[in-house]
Structure 1
Amino acid sequence: MRNFCFLLALLFSVGVVAQTSTISGKIANNQQQALAGVNVVINSQNIGAQTREDGTFLLERVPVGNYKVTVTYLGYKTKELNVEVFNGSNQNLGSIVLYEGNEILNEVIIKSERRNKFSRKQTAYVAKLPLKDLENTQVYSTVTNELLESQVVTNFDDALKNATGVEQLWTSTGRGGDGAGYFSLRGFSVQPQLVNGLPGLTNGTINPANIERIEVLKGPSATLFGNAVSSYGGLINVVTKKPYVGTGGQISYTAGSYGFNQVVADVNSALSEKDNIYFRVNTAYTSQQSFQDAGFSKSFFVAPSLSYKVNNKLSFSFYAEITQAEQTNPMFLFLNRSAPTESQDLNELNYNNKLSFTSNDLTLENPNQNYRFETDYKLSDSWKSQTLLSRSNTSTKGYYTYLIDYGTLGDDTFSRFLSKQNSNTQTTDIQQNFIGDFKLGSLRNRMVIGLDYFTAKETDNSSKFAFYGNVTPEGLSNGDNPLTLDVVEDVFSPLSTSGVDSVLENQPINNATSKYETYSFYVSDVVNITKQLSAMVGVRLDHFNNDGDILVEDDNYDQTTLSPKVGLVYQPIEEQLSVFANYQNGFTNVAPKLVGDPDQGAQTLKTFDPEQANQMEFGVKTNLFTNRLNATISYYDIKVKDRVITDPNSLFNKIQGGEVESRGVEIELNANPIKGLNIRAGYSYNDSETTKSDNLEILNKRPLEAGPESLYHAWANYELTNGKFKGLGFGAGINGASERFAINYVSTGEFILPSYTIANASIYYQAKKYSLSLKLNNAFNKEYYKGWTTISPQTPRTLLAKVAYKF
């Protein structure tokens, strides 16, 4: 009887197995080069695989039936195949060709595993072309959504800690005009002002709920992006989540130290499968208190997006990000910029960093909207048209305060000044791109030809700043105004809206509206000279028209600039190793200056050429062991010239002779040595110096915006992929920086913020429908500071707990 049951079970198992089949094939690009890591998925069965190094794939245990097989690869157009599976057969689909296309619309999220989860080395934004990292002469860091998920990242500042060579100078202040956070990159300050390759301004902090990845482009990037959204050190591009084919989503709740609460929802659905219309919405509510005695922030964020594929030639997409945020602005200690601070370091300063020196009554509101619309039309097999429109509207309303040491009151006294903010910034950007992939003779060309119109208008109706008492770093206070000679002990009420309003009611109100616009033409071409050698050549013609204050004609000016870039890439091991070199250019428009001795008559306006930055860079990129090891090693040298300075031969004349040099090394590593283990690490060293200037205060010194000389970070994440505890994962990592100058002028001397190393760790469990996570930031409760002429204490140890449900 036992043998009979065993035989019956065996026959039943064979019958079941016989009801499944396999699907195989090979995937290549239109140059017949095999593509590794391509996602091949049957969504309805949750069956998927990735292509091997030779481009082949195998889908196993596919039940009998009719299926739609989806083939996706970042930077290539998605392909869908209808396949009928018969009992016990192997359906060989033969050779499947993918054509390079615009990822902005065609990017599809697939549930199958990507081997190196912390690396995403293809993008259509960096070069405005679908280009692999090994083919790109420019260096960029990519921070993936998978990395952010593994670290339970809840804010944008923490997300950027994963980008090699990026360090926060100060967090978002929320103030009008430039209230977003500042970061140092290759020796220069930069703000995140690019979303999906288009301007996306904000006066607050970017919400991470809608981030698919962050791309940090290194070095001057004006040739393709102009100077409105980039700096000489590079630019920060946020790539948002987009609609995909299918239905699903996730809801999560995160709670943590200092009253942190965050609810996030991500929902994707078809509005019409027949018409290929898909809709996705990401939304989040976040509230948090400060580790100090006062301070909080709260925000509501919603990001709807829509994609509509009319046919194989025409498609549309729309994205929006709408934020309503309120916060107390962070209270930095601004050091004296013209005389030595009494204390030369933090130990002497006796700073009680648990004091906020503010009140929860004094808040700033930062409503912000970004809208983007895109149309793609296939003109031919070689060319397509891409039309892009973006609009941004960001405002600041409420109370902004700061503390500054004037050096006249003694005892390290910092004076408080405050203003009632009321400002608004609006931007519009229109781009028309023609993107081609064609051959001239035997040479393959991938080219983008573009027209770009950008305009920005800023209105400021804020009050002038008023004095509101003094404080010392240990918490004492007095009311002696540092800007008056008499010692007068003014009595100020507590920091409340009524008390502040009574002081501000007599302050004048600004009435300033400024506007500028830029007209640009650019072209960039990647030419495959041989199969392994390619060159990138690009140029931008940029015409800048500044209206300044629209009520004042004397501040109007315009300038025209030519911005080139050239790069070479050689792949000694094709698709695995490349050696590159580049020359890149950036520029800044310079306003006219008044010159001439006023004692000898009226001064006149003198115009100047735009200030220029030129970078030379070379290095190595790898994609080894079938995407298990991605590394970039580079050396760069950026020279800024033509800064306006005082003529050494005439105090009443201005000339262009100021220079700054910034050089350094960057190393970034993304590795997947064994299944389930992902490692990301980076190190950067930067040496910056003002080499020519009329300002002896800064000559031959490191610019304060350059931040620390050395930065390093590492994060390792291991997840069990088999066995009883499948889905259990652990993560650990560090972030660190060398010491930095908070102040470093001849007259002030040095105030150095010490170096730091911060440790973080996580543990999580992922099931099919839900996940649980714990994250410990600043595990050893390190006291550390950042700053840019400022002292800004960083958050102590925090614990976060997250639960998520997937559907």
Structure 2
Amino acid sequence: MKNYLLFLSFIVFTNILCSQESTVSGLITDNNQSPLLGVNVLIKNTTKGTQTNINGEFIITNLTDGAYTLSITYLGFKNREISFSVKKAQEITLPTIILYEGNEILSEVVVEGERRNKFSRKETAYVSKLPLKDIENSQVYSTVTTELLKSQVVTSFDDALKNATGVENLWASTGRGGDGAGYFSLRGFSVQPQLVNGLPGLTNGTINPANIERIEVLKGPSATLFGNAVSSYGGLINVVTKKPYVGTGGEVSFTSGTYGLNQIIGDFNTALSKENNLYFRVNTAYTTEQSFQDAGFRKSFFVAPSLSYKVNNNLSFSFYGEITQAEQTNPTFLFLNRSAPTEASNLEELGYNNKLSFTSNDLTLENPTQNYRIEMDYKLSDTWQSQSLVSKSSTSTSGYYSYLFDYGILGGNTFSRFINKQNANTQTTDIQQNFIGDFKIASLRNRVVIGVDYFNQTQTDNSTGYAFYGNITPNGGSNGDNPFTPEVEGASFPLSSSGVDAVLASQGVSNIKSKFHIYSVYASDVVNFTENLSAMVGLRLDRFDNEGNLSNIEDDYDQTTFSPKFGILFQPIKDKVSIFGNYQNGFTNVAPQLVGNPENGPQTLQIFDPEQANQFEFGVKTNVFNNRLNATISYYDIKVKDRVITDPSSPFNKIQGGEVVSKGFEIELNANPIKGLNVRAGFSKNHSETTKSDNTEILNRRPLEAGPEISYNFWANYEFQEGNLKGFGLGLGLNGSSERFAINYESTGEFILPSYTIANASVFYQANNYRLGLKLNNAFNKEYYKGWTTISPQTPRALLANISYQF
């Protein structure tokens, strides 16, 4: 009995001592009031900490009297610090802590035991310029993640975009000045990648995938938030780059493959000053690659430094740069005649030997490109933040550019080569100031962005004129008969820089410098009427000031345009299923043009309204089975009006009033049905037609920029999770499209490129710090072509081997 009383006394005394220690607890959510699982909650300058549970709750016990600061970090969200103090065995419950998504710098590196649905990343602050989840966004967009690119051993930007639903390559990057980047069809319209981290980032070459965190493809006209300079009627392509994070680490990767491919990539992140929250990251790559044809190559050196500085919890700065030095031969597409029938109506009749490049490695283009961005984020209050952004781009072209065109004069499927020496440069400046708010008016939640935007582009062109440089036939024949001279000639045209220089010596050199400015104000508001019902309303006022050729004041003009946007979204199951509809607008400024037959007197300047594109769309989005299945199904209808065309009755006159209709549906699936298996699939069907035009050449026909009517993609990747095969995996996939028009005019008839389906496969071994992989592209060695008034052969079967090491 005595021993029992002593033991009981000890227990009571111990409880009294323990009761002198305090606890702190709380709830952490995102800005939609959804609980966040696995948030890191640490007490600064101590070893105490925890993570939130599935309900977003945390508790830290055994605190003695004193003042403390909670450090809260979560990947993809803004870091927060919260101060509190305890005394006399308090149990403190903090008010709900909200973490905001966004362009996070200094994100804590979180090693995840299992990340579900690695091929899907739909949390982004770029698409709507707001921290808005895909499930609550009434606009449709596709995301291509870095995990997907790694699983496919992707070494080029064109291959990366094969994973974006409804995107099809029209032609590869040519490197020529002004528009040398690749062209892609999207919802029936051509588009080039011109956005980096939501800001203009131009290139005359191709984009290096070494610095890509993800690619976001926004669907439909998007001028309300992004303007018309970097978007098309079909949408836009935004490249999100890798950013600095808290910690030290990196990766080294080497890929070698068929046709002389060698690519080495480095990624390194470190703290320049942990005390001052100053972090630095650099991504770099060196690539050399030859062609499957008899000539052609590309080599490039790329470096992307980035810096982040968190001054305090309210103020942070970021710097991002991409610098590329590239040299390549330009792909010599076969350009079909756009005004008269080609002798051959298909590839078989053309007799095309696609192993011939019709160029030489002595005729090259250099494409140096630089993109820089500075960002300042400042928290004005708990409900408002300021975002100040400046971007600068410079892209140049120097060297020889040639094209092959069927003028239909010499017969025998003869294509004439014309060549010039390029010397061009494009400079852009963009300045944005955004104010982003998340607040309630009465009981209605509002997420608002209000911004002003200034964009300037200056182009300089000091290129030579184009000179005739021989003829070829698609099967390898050649001759020197100039189709524009009456006599039959037989001159020799060697494919060398000295030979080309001799011919170009008689050509004039351009001295053109042109400039335009765009001044814009925009606003967008997502209003939650209930937790499940929201609407998005946006408007842009755009002032276009064109200085044109600086030596010619007659081509100056101004245009003012309004661009509205509206969307509505209902979630029958909160954060799992949404039904949406939207109206989106795009526009294009049209320059005044001189009209009238000069033989009848002086021409007059005719003014045009901007072209307008309006889209109506509706569909369903899902995020179910604990993020194991993301799906988007949508139907869209885009109508472009007020298109300016050449008067068919007079080449000296222009007519405004043409209309194009583009409509279709898209399905995209991202699934993680079982642990280790990730699946990506997409299907798109598009109907495009010029429904109104005084030009009978194109009336009631599918526009060439629309690409194929049907496109599809699929990729499945499985990694064994246990047993002797743990770490081993394989990937299987395909991508393809229906036939497409290379030419489709009344007078020329049709030249159709056939449909294709390309199969790809990979095997790999993933260990803790390294990965080994083999990838087979075009496994069945399919011969296929793409084009846009052109015929462009695609790469045959190719094998890639990759090794990467993480540290």
Specify the alignment match of 1:446 in structure 2: 447
**How many residues end up aligned between the 2 structures?**
772
**SS of structure 2 residue aligned to 1:721:** coil
What letter is aligned with 2:531?
K
CA distance, structure 1, for counterparts of residue 52 and residue 719 of structure 2: 22
Question: Does residue 599 of structure 2 align to residue 606 of structure 1?
Answer: no
The CA deviation at 1:644 is 2.1
User: Per the alignment, do residues 250 and 77 of structure 1 end up closer, same or farther by CA in structure 2, a change over 3 Å counting?
Assistant: same
- 1:36-51 matches, cutoff 5 A: none
Question: Does residue 613 of structure 2 align to residue 617 of structure 1?
Answer: no
Specify the alignment match of 1:416 in structure 2: 417
The CA deviation at 1:721 is 2.0
- 1:272-351 matches, cutoff 5 A: 272-351=273-352
Specify the alignment match of 2:73 in structure 1: 71
The CA deviation at 1:55 is 4.0
Specify the alignment match of 1:528 in structure 2: 528
- 1:670-749 matches, cutoff 5 A: 670-749=670-749
What letter is aligned with 1:200?
G
- Contact 2:105/2:245 (<8 A) preserved: no
Question: Does residue 634 of structure 2 align to residue 664 of structure 1?
Answer: no
CA distance, structure 2, for counterparts of residue 266 and residue 80 of structure 1: 29
Specify the alignment match of 2:506 in structure 1: 506
Q: Deviations over 1:13-36 (max 9, x none)?
A: xxxxxxxxxx99864235543236
Question: Does residue 183 of structure 2 align to residue 193 of structure 1?
Answer: no
User: Per the alignment, do residues 259 and 71 of structure 1 end up closer, same or farther by CA in structure 2, a change over 3 Å counting?
Assistant: same
Specify the alignment match of 2:489 in structure 1: 488
CA distance, structure 2, for counterparts of residue 344 and residue 550 of structure 1: 44
**SS of structure 2 residue aligned to 1:764:** strand
What letter is aligned with 2:298?
S
What letter is aligned with 2:334?
L
- Contact 1:427/1:455 (<8 A) preserved: yes
Specify the alignment match of 1:804 in structure 2: 804
Q: Deviations over 1:565-610 (max 9, x none)?
A: 0000100000000000000000000111224565664332121211
The CA deviation at 1:102 is 2.6
Specify the alignment match of 2:479 in structure 1: 478
Specify the alignment match of 2:585 in structure 1: 585
- Contact 1:522/1:541 (<8 A) preserved: yes
Question: Does residue 392 of structure 2 align to residue 396 of structure 1?
Answer: no
**SS of structure 1 residue aligned to 2:413:** coil
**SS of structure 2 residue aligned to 1:747:** coil
User: Per the alignment, do residues 349 and 36 of structure 1 end up closer, same or farther by CA in structure 2, a change over 3 Å counting?
Assistant: farther
Specify the alignment match of 1:163 in structure 2: 164
User: Per the alignment, do residues 358 and 647 of structure 1 end up closer, same or farther by CA in structure 2, a change over 3 Å counting?
Assistant: closer
User: Per the alignment, do residues 326 and 596 of structure 1 end up closer, same or farther by CA in structure 2, a change over 3 Å counting?
Assistant: closer
Specify the alignment match of 1:183 in structure 2: 184
The CA deviation at 1:768 is 1.1
What letter is aligned with 1:424?
N
**SS of structure 2 residue aligned to 1:103:** coil
Specify the alignment match of 2:228 in structure 1: 227
Specify the alignment match of 1:436 in structure 2: 437
**SS of structure 1 residue aligned to 2:159:** helix
RMSD between aligned alpha carbons? Answer: 2.8
The CA deviation at 1:723 is 2.8
- Contact 2:269/2:282 (<8 A) preserved: yes
What letter is aligned with 1:636?
Y
CA distance, structure 2, for counterparts of residue 103 and residue 794 of structure 1: 37
Specify the alignment match of 1:558 in structure 2: 558
CA distance, structure 2, for counterparts of residue 646 and residue 202 of structure 1: 30
- 1:130-149 matches, cutoff 5 A: 130-149=131-150
What letter is aligned with 1:270?
A
**SS of structure 2 residue aligned to 1:531:** coil
- Contact 1:647/1:655 (<8 A) preserved: yes
The CA deviation at 1:724 is 3.1
Specify the alignment match of 1:568 in structure 2: 568
Question: Does residue 780 of structure 2 align to residue 780 of structure 1?
Answer: yes
- Contact 1:252/1:264 (<8 A) preserved: yes
**SS of structure 1 residue aligned to 2:246:** coil
CA distance, structure 1, for counterparts of residue 59 and residue 754 of structure 2: 55
CA distance, structure 2, for counterparts of residue 342 and residue 41 of structure 1: 74
The CA deviation at 1:54 is 4.2
Specify the alignment match of 2:792 in structure 1: 792
- Contact 1:108/1:243 (<8 A) preserved: no
Specify the alignment match of 2:16 in structure 1: none
What letter is aligned with 2:73?
V
CA distance, structure 2, for counterparts of residue 664 and residue 284 of structure 1: 39
- Contact 1:710/1:737 (<8 A) preserved: yes
**SS of structure 2 residue aligned to 1:173:** coil
The CA deviation at 1:695 is 1.6
CA distance, structure 2, for counterparts of residue 95 and residue 264 of structure 1: 46
What letter is aligned with 1:525?
D
Specify the alignment match of 1:29 in structure 2: 30
Gaps of 5+ in 2: 1-23, 61-67, 85-90
CA distance, structure 1, for counterparts of residue 697 and residue 140 of structure 2: 34
- Contact 2:26/2:97 (<8 A) preserved: no
The CA deviation at 1:50 is 9.2
Specify the alignment match of 1:764 in structure 2: 764
Q: Deviations over 1:587-646 (max 9, x none)?
A: 000111224565664332121211100000000000001100000000000000011246
CA distance, structure 1, for counterparts of residue 795 and residue 44 of structure 2: 43
- Contact 2:69/2:81 (<8 A) preserved: no
Specify the alignment match of 1:455 in structure 2: 456
What letter is aligned with 1:121?
K
- Contact 2:265/2:284 (<8 A) preserved: yes
User: Per the alignment, do residues 244 and 688 of structure 1 end up closer, same or farther by CA in structure 2, a change over 3 Å counting?
Assistant: same
In the superposition, the TM-score normalised over structure 1's length comes to: 0.91
The CA deviation at 1:276 is 0.3
What letter is aligned with 2:628?
R
Question: Does residue 350 of structure 2 align to residue 357 of structure 1?
Answer: no
CA distance, structure 1, for counterparts of residue 32 and residue 458 of structure 2: 47
The CA deviation at 1:483 is 1.6
User: Per the alignment, do residues 96 and 745 of structure 1 end up closer, same or farther by CA in structure 2, a change over 3 Å counting?
Assistant: same
The CA deviation at 1:92 is 12
User: Per the alignment, do residues 43 and 184 of structure 1 end up closer, same or farther by CA in structure 2, a change over 3 Å counting?
Assistant: farther
The CA deviation at 1:103 is 2.3
User: Per the alignment, do residues 42 and 168 of structure 1 end up closer, same or farther by CA in structure 2, a change over 3 Å counting?
Assistant: farther
Specify the alignment match of 1:211 in structure 2: 212
Specify the alignment match of 2:63 in structure 1: none
**SS of structure 2 residue aligned to 1:105:** coil
Question: Does residue 350 of structure 2 align to residue 384 of structure 1?
Answer: no
User: Per the alignment, do residues 417 and 599 of structure 1 end up closer, same or farther by CA in structure 2, a change over 3 Å counting?
Assistant: closer
**SS of structure 1 residue aligned to 2:486:** coil
User: Per the alignment, do residues 315 and 652 of structure 1 end up closer, same or farther by CA in structure 2, a change over 3 Å counting?
Assistant: same
**SS of structure 1 residue aligned to 2:245:** coil
**SS of structure 2 residue aligned to 1:161:** helix
**SS of structure 2 residue aligned to 1:183:** strand
CA distance, structure 1, for counterparts of residue 82 and residue 719 of structure 2: 33
Q: Deviations over 1:671-729 (max 9, x none)?
A: 00011100000000000001111221111000000000000000000111223332211
What letter is aligned with 2:667?
I
User: Per the alignment, do residues 732 and 428 of structure 1 end up closer, same or farther by CA in structure 2, a change over 3 Å counting?
Assistant: same
CA distance, structure 1, for counterparts of residue 792 and residue 261 of structure 2: 20
CA distance, structure 2, for counterparts of residue 296 and residue 92 of structure 1: 66
Gaps of 5+ in 1: 1-22, 60-65, 84-90
